[in-house]
Chains A and B, each alone.
Chain A
Amino acid sequence: MEQQTVESLQEKRLKLGSSPHIKSPFTTEKAMYYVIIALIPCIISSVIFFGFYQLVVIGTCCVFSVATEYVIKKLRKQKITIMDGSAFLTGLLLGLILPPNYPLSHCALGSIFAIGIGKEIFGGLGFNIFNPALVGRAFLQASFPVETTTWVKPKLAVDTVTSATPLAQFKFEKVIADVSHLFFGNVSGSLGETSALAILIGGLFLIIIRVANWEIPLSMIIGMVCFQGILWVIDPTKYANPLFHILSGGFLFGAFFMATDWVTSPITKKGMWLYGIAISLLIVVIRNFGGLPEGVMYAILLMNAATPLINRYTIPKIFGEAK
């Protein structure tokens, strides 16, 4: 047996460190890679419905995100952190919320903006206020409105499916998409957002392994059911039912992968509930009364801005402190 005498350890010098001396095996890097794994079903669904070319779109986003982080860290003479998986994840998320066959030059630009302005300008991982992928998407939507709203008919499309997204179809033509199409993802839309099934597989995986919290997705869904339900009860011809709104657009993808982002969402349980319900309220307002058919991105970005405030007002009560 390999052995050393007690005295030789003294010579080698004992290592010191303050307690606790052990740490749970769960790390931030691991969490990032788990999210990446959880996105695999969405990547697969985008390939099934929109073809293999979409891998190039997503890949471009990932490559440029990682490269941007590398260059910025190098320029600022900081430790290179690309191996923590967060930049890759931002690229992946951005790619999955872009329309099919999106121009690669725009992909690259969006990624550079997402990492550069969305994340690194604040100081990198943990310091950003807004979800970097959504910042990139908002930038693209503002800069290239035409390309960013050009949709493609899914590959398995039947006659009833058009190239318009279900939300736009309802908003402008009052046509409600088939629930089974919405569930499996056989509708037009952003790459990773169309298939509720794929999102649920990944999202539930994240909740089960406790990377994502369950409070935010659940509160968003409850909020959507309540607020949209009220409108629907008032006038079912003018307002679509809550299930349609949950399954269409970026709602589920936003609920499971965007709103649950650790950095930009509230830190307390109470805050998470507030945040989720407020997001769904904003989505309902934008989708029903705004000019745009879709509002998930703006709703989440707005609530990102409110997160520090929510954190401040939902500090938990200390054990034993007077009620």
Chain B
Amino acid sequence: MKMEVMNGFVVVKDTFKGGVHPKEWKELTESKPLEIMPLPKEIILPLQQHLGNEAVPIVKKKDKVVLGQIVAQPVGYISAPIHSPVNGVVKDIKSVPSPFGFPKKSIIITPEDSETKQFFEPLDPYTITSEQIIERVKEAGIVGMGGASFPTFVKLTPPKDKQIDTLIINACECEPYLTRDYRIILERTDEFLAGVKLIMKALKVEKAIIGIEDNKPKAIEILNKYLLSEPSIKLYVLKTRYPQGAEKMLIYATLRRVVPAGKLPLDVGVVVQNVATSLSVYQAVVEGKPQIEAILTVSGKGVVEPKNLIVKIGTPIQEILNYCSGLKQDASRIIFGGPMMGVPVFDLRTPVIKATSGILVLTEKETRRGESLNCVRCGKCIEVCPINLYPTKLARLSEFGKFEEALKLGIMNCMECGTCQYNCPSDVPIVHFVRIGKNKAKNLKIS
């Protein structure tokens, strides 16, 4: 393993096997400070903004709601409450397009100008207990902001038989274009690191690692300066490579621990949290603020003025794009998230949710797909697959309905990072077929 300690941080060159390095395009927004977007004309709050059960609304049409007030209650263990991001009136509760690609029942609020707010009571981060932090994270409705939007409190309460020894903070931001976590590190270093320490306290771990890619020298410099007096938090500088932000890859890159197939990071004693999540934990505990904002990057070659924004959750992307001076002539595809794993939207009223990390407007040229050629068995998908799967075969098996065989070849291990298809010279829609295959194979297992 090639690891060396330089100026206090650890440099890792051979981070994980496979992966690609797409053009980053981070220069579009990396020097733009976080900007607070003014109140939108409408707020649309999907009842499901997290993995697990949909929350249940506890407000009715025409009810007045207050900033920070809880408007939907969680159901079951894996779920999260939703708070009103504005003062206003509930206009309607109905199904509208969501960032998941299909309509979801949502609470629609018309904002009103008012100064009132209903936050939690601020807690002292020095005297707080582990249980108090977890409770606050739960009631503040914090969900993971790395992509999967898993309720954070669940990750902070590992089963009793699992011994957690390390917290890893994912600061890779390996998707092209996105610069949100980078800006948080630059501008909110204190709050972010305080958040990291709160999570460490909640997990009762002594050691934390911040994994960051070497394409962010300014962030590395700042973190390094702050961490000189924090021996419990180590900075790992990793060679830039997609998908380094995937939990299993990041754990391997930093600790050289292999998460067994089908298992979770906590099975190897690790919990991974995202930069933005750490900041939210800080805000919930120290400021008493529930998760009512999303910090995101609006970028892409199709948007006139790319920006890093702090927006209220529920803001329709139409208003966000208008705030960024609109679109260029050749804009053609709008995506929630990064260009490798993001979900495209078909309706501009689609709202931002808690886990939204970016809104990208890609141009016709960038996304244009020639018709795909046949697979030429070049093996470039195998070469880059971080999980070591046989992508082209899995796609072919799914295409022809041989789901059982695909299951045997480990199709369920695919995390749909898109590395194979990005690298495919014939542009075979591998991920598309694998997704279908995973869906079918999943049902096979149950039956």
Contacts and interface: CB of A to CB of B under 8 A. Distances in A.
Contacts of A123: 374
A10 interface: yes
Contacts of A321: 260-261, 410, 413
Contacts of A315: 390, 409
A290 interface: no
Given A4-B326, A22-B176, A319-B388, A267 B427 contact: no
Main secondary structure of the interface of B (DSSP, over half): loop
A320 B259 contact: yes
Interface string B310-328: 0000000010011001111
B340 A20 contact: yes
Given A24-B423, A126-B374, A19 B261 contact: no
Given A3-B304, A17-B333, A23-B427, A319 B258 contact: yes
Contact of A126 (B260, B375, B409, B432): B375
Interface string A247-266: 00000000000000011011
Nearest to B370: A27
Contacts of A268: 379, 382, 390
Nearest to A31: B425
A5 interface: yes
**What is the size category of the interface that chain B forms with chain A?**
35 or more
A2 B410 CA distance: 48
29 contacts: A6-B322, A6-B348, A14-B332, A14-B334, A14-B348, A15-B333, A16-B346, A17-B333, A19-B339, A19-B341, A20-B340, A21-B333, A21-B342, A21-B344, A22-B176, A24-B20, A24-B425, A27-B426, A126-B375, A127-B374, A266-B379, A267-B390, A269-B379, A272-B379, A315-B390, A316-B382, A319-B387, A320-B258, A320-B260
Contact of A14 (B176, B340, B346): B346
Given A5-B322, A17-B333, A320-B263, 14 more contacts: A6-B321, A14-B332, A18-B344, A20-B422, A21-B333, A22-B22, A22-B176, A26-B425, A28-B378, A125-B376, A262-B378, A262-B379, A318-B261, A322-B261
Contacts of B344: 14-19, 21
Given A9-B327, A9-B331, A21 B362 contact: yes
A263 B376 contact: yes
Contact of A19 (B345, B418, B423): B418
A2 B331 CA distance: 11
Given A19-B431, A263-B377, A3 B387 contact: no
Contacts of B392: 267
B433 to A, nearest CB: 10
B425 A3 contact: no
B335 interface: yes
A254 B39 CA distance: 68
Given A4-B327, A4-B329, A22 B260 contact: no
Interface string B355-380: 00000101010110111011111110
By Cβ-Cβ distance, the 5 closest A-B pairs, closest first, are A20-B418, A126-B374, A262-B378, A267-B379, A2-B329
B93 interface: no
Contacts of B362: 21-22
A76 interface: no
Interface residues of A, number: 51
Contact of B261 (A4, A27, A319): A319
B343 interface: yes
A77 interface: no
A120 to B, nearest CB: 12
B248 interface: yes
Contacts of A272: 379
Contact of A262 (B347, B376, B388, B410): B376
Nearest to B424: A23
Interface in A147-189: none
A4 B340 contact: no
A137 B390 CA distance: 33
Contacts of B287: none
B155 interface: no
Nearest to A312: B393
Given A4-B331, A16-B344, A124 B378 contact: no
Contacts of A14: 332-334, 344-346, 348
Contacts of B259: 320
A28 to B, nearest CB: 4
B416 interface: yes
Contact of A21 (B325, B326, B339, B382): B339
B32 interface: no
Contacts of A30: 425
